[in-house]
Amino acid sequence: AQSVTQLGSHVSVSEGALVLLRCNYSSSVPPYLFWYVQYPNQGLQLLLKYTTGATLVKGINGFEAEFKKSETSFHLTKPSAHMSDAAEYFCAMRPNTGNQFYFGTGTSLTVIP
């Protein structure tokens, strides 16, 4: 069964510290992978997506994600957290066939001044 697991429903970091949000997927074939961000009372916006080629993907607002096939992971990182990064982050996958997307349960990021 296809699924996405996000470890840690809440993550707190100090301003300027490294942000690491974890995402693991379950799929027999490497799927298409995405990270979305949701600010309060808004819809989801794309942060970045994995396409074939380079395993390190750069997104908006200084975020990056690394695809590791052997670990079935697609963790999101940012070297230095900013107050404006406080939001809910969702990892999502779409299998190689079909139109459905599968979302993780989300990680709420708090940035401490």
Residue closer to another protein, measured from CB, 6 or 73 = 6
Applying CB under 8 A, which of residues 28, 70, 84, 99 lies at the interface with another protein? 99
Applying CB under 8 A, which of residues 22, 30, 64, 101 lies at the interface with another protein? 101
Residue closer to another protein, measured from CB, 53 or 113 = 53
Scanning 13-21, 46-54, 58-66, 71-79 for contacts with another protein by CB under 8 A, the matching segment is: 46-54
- In the chain, the largest separation of any two C-alpha atoms, in whole Å, equals 44
**How many residues sit close enough to another protein to count as binding (CB under 8 A)?**
21
Residue closer to another protein, measured from CB, 26 or 80 = 26
